[in-house]
Structure 1
Amino acid sequence: MRLPYSPILWRKGFGREACKAMLEYGKYTLELHEVISIIDPLNRASIQLAKKNQFHKVKSAFIFNKNHDIYQSFL
């Protein structure tokens, strides 16, 4: 999931709603058992959102030409 960069849209709950919908879709429609999130370690809002949705950090990796943290959640 990637949300717009417009600061006008930040901190309005759009990320929470989108994350909830995607996790439900993954679990009930796609029958996934786990999902991951690739997050820039400087993006505190995304890390906070991931943690609120029971994601936990599993490792760091060099992806997309920079360091990222990999978070995982079991559905």
Structure 2
Amino acid sequence: MEQVPILVQRISPAGGRRVVIRIRGVDTVLGVAFSDADLVEFLRRMELPDPDELGLGDFEVIAWQGGRPHRYE
């Protein structure tokens, strides 16, 4: 799998985190995740191979911005 940078932005005041993926230098907002399951689903929709097996704590692939990883509220 080609590693692509995925940014999970800081928690919004309403809850949830915006998920952004950079492909070929272009940032695309995938949606707002309210759980790790949402994040995995966004990656599945991008047709990444085996998104269920992607290490959601893998800091070479996913950058968690502001706050602790895996928290959405």
| TM-score, scaled to structure 2 | 0.30
Which structure has more helix as a fraction of its residues? 1
| TM-score, scaled to structure 1 | 0.30
Structure ID, larger Rg: 1
